[in-house]
Structures are given as structure tokens and as C-alpha cells.
Amino acid sequence: MDTTPLAALLGTLVGLIQALSGAGGGILAVPLLVFGLHLPMQQAAPAGLMAAGLAAAVGTALGLREGIVRYRAAALIGVSGMLLAPLGVWLAQRIPNRPLLAAFGLVLAYTSWRMFRQAHQGPGAPLHGKPPCVINPEVGRLAWTLACARILAASGMLSGVLSGLLGVGGGFVIVPVLTRYTDLGPRSVVATSLAVIALVSVGGVTAAAMNGRLEWQVALPFSAGAVVALLIGRLWARRLAGARLQQAFAAVSAVVSALVLGRALGVLGA
């Protein structure tokens, strides 16, 4: 059976959700591949990561054009993640499918809770006092310190491992770190996070491809559908985005998380 049309259709759904939710829609890529195309986590994760990475690259290009991407910070976090992403891929090949599904379900549940909280309370407050990473007003760039570099590099490493292991872009790690430990504005946080996701995805996808775990006949149409739908969805995003939409996405994520955990526990089949 030719899975190309279905893969492209599922990718389109991911791209639309990602455009309308602002970010995070890519985390639904893996569940769609698991339930829609019946792929094991070891194959669904890199295909979903490719889609998330390409969509993030599009968002990064738009952010660079607007001048809101902190590219030096993104490079430090992203390179740290790229170096650790192959470790995540290596671990994924040695962990059975059900524990991987359970881990992904828990990550999705956390993402759902955080998005629901943001819809009610906003993105969360930074640290009390001066954060470790602050903008130098004289040059308009981050003032680099050892503490700042350590925090950003550590967040990149964690993002890289999780990206390779579960096929998630890492935005659910990077966005809270940038919000809490820097004084960047919300739009700059999201744009910089997308740049990190694009970089980290390169490491995870490359490692999976070298290990023969990337199903190209699924990953390519799935990713293409996501990118095209993301670009189209941006035309309506500003009119439709809002707290209600964030709540709806959080509710969908919670339901999908329950389904993933049910599959991991054997309740919904193998």
C-alpha cells in the first residue's frame, strides 16, 4: 500500500496546527505517525523530527528577516543539542517500543499542562532579580557570561537527547529556559527556539538516517505537507490565534497523551 498520500495528509494537519498554535503542533507528529501509519517509535520519531525541523527552519527564516532571532544564543544551544542528538537516537534503538511510547506520552501530557496554564496565566515569569542572560542595551545583544553560557548549553544538551530519543523538536525545553533565564521578549524567545529546533533536528535526523531508521517514503511527504500547510496556515494564524485556541490545542494534546499512554500500557493494542 502506498502511504505517500496519507503521510502528506497527516503532515498537512501537523503544519496547520503548528501555524495556528504558534508552536508545539509538531509534537503531535509522532502520535499521528504511530496511530495513522502504525509506525514504531523508532521510525516515527525521526520522521516527526524531520517535519518539525523543516517547519522550524521556515519559522527561523521569517524570524531572521524580522531581526528577532538571537542567532548566537541559538547557535550555542543548537550545536550543543546537535552533539547530543545522536546519543538520543542510539538510546532509542536500544529501548523497547512501549517504554518509549510511555515517555513520549508523559512529555505530551506535560506540554498540554503547560499550554493550558499559559492560556490562563501567560508564559510564566522570569527569575526574581536579574536573570543570567540579559541584553546589553548598548549593542542590543546578549551579554555573555559563564553562567549564561552554561545554562544555554545545558538546555541544548537536554533538548538534543530528547529530540533524538522521542522525535520532539525540543521547544518545550528551550522556550521555558529562555523565558526564565533571559530577558528576551516573547516573540524573540519563540523565534530563537525555532532556530534551535532547526539545528538540533539536523543532528537527530542525520543520526537516524545513518542508522537506517529513517523511512524516507514517509518522512519526505509528511515533512512537505507540514511545511506547505504551515506557510498557508500563517495567513489565518493572526486572526484565529488566542487563548481559546491554545486551550483547544492543550485539550487535544491531553487526549492524544492518554491514547499514547494507553498504547504503551497495552490497553489500545500493541
158-206 per-position pLDDT tens digit: 989 988 888 876 777 888 888 889 988 887 888 888 888 888 888 888 8
Q: Is 161 exposed, middle or buried, given 0-12, 13-18 or 19+ CB atoms closer than 10 A?
A: buried
What pLDDT is stored for residue 6 in this prediction? 92
> Average pLDDT, whole number, for the chain?
83
What pLDDT is stored for residue 163 in this prediction? 86
State the residue range of the domain holding 246.
Answer: 4-264
- What is the sign, positive or negative, of the torsion defined by CA atoms of 261, 43, 57, 127? positive
What pLDDT is stored for residue 170 in this prediction? 72
Q: What whole-number percentage of the chain has pLDDT above 70?
A: 87
Contacts of 130 (CB under 8 A, 6+ apart): none
Domain assignment present for residue 172? The answer is: yes
Domain assignment present for residue 170? The answer is: yes
Q: Which range scores top for mean pLDDT: 44-58, 108-122, 151-165?
A: 151-165
Domain assignment present for residue 270? The answer is: no
How many domains is the chain built from?
1
pTM: 0.81
Domain assignment present for residue 122? The answer is: yes
Question: What does the pLDDT look like over 198-257, one tens digit per residue?
Answer: 888 888 888 888 888 888 999 999 999 988 888 887 777 666 555 666 777 778 888 888
pLDDT at 157 over 70: yes
In this structure, of 26-35, 101-110, 116-125, the range with the lowest mean pLDDT score is 116-125
Domain assignment present for residue 179? The answer is: yes
Q: What whole-number percentage of the chain has pLDDT above 90?
A: 21
User: pLDDT tier at 121 (50, 70, 90 boundaries)?
Assistant: low
pLDDT at 4 over 80: yes
pLDDT at 151 over 80: yes
**By the 8 A CB rule, do 32 and 10 touch?**
yes
What pLDDT is stored for residue 117 in this prediction? 77
Q: Give exposure, 185-206, as e/b (b: 16+ Cβ within 10 Å).
A: eeebbbbbbbbbbbbbbbbbbb
- Give 109 or 24, the one with higher predicted confidence: 109
Domain assignment present for residue 269? The answer is: no
What pLDDT is stored for residue 119 in this prediction? 64
- Give 130 or 214, the one with higher predicted confidence: 214
- Give 115 or 65, the one with higher predicted confidence: 65
What is the DSSP track for the chain? Answer: ---HHHHHHHHHHHHHHHHHHSS-GGGGHHHHHHHHS---HHHHHHHHHHHHHHHHHHHHHHHHHHT---HHHHHHHHHHHHHHHHHHHHHHTTS-HHHHHHHHHHHHHHHHHHHHHHHHH-S----SS--SBEEETTTTEEE--HHHHHHHHHHHHHHHHHHHHH---SHHHHHHHHHHHB---HHHHHHHHHHHHHHHHHHHHHHHHHTT---HHHHHHHHHHHHHHHHHHHHHHHHH-SHHHHHHHHHHHHHHHHHHHHHHTTTT--
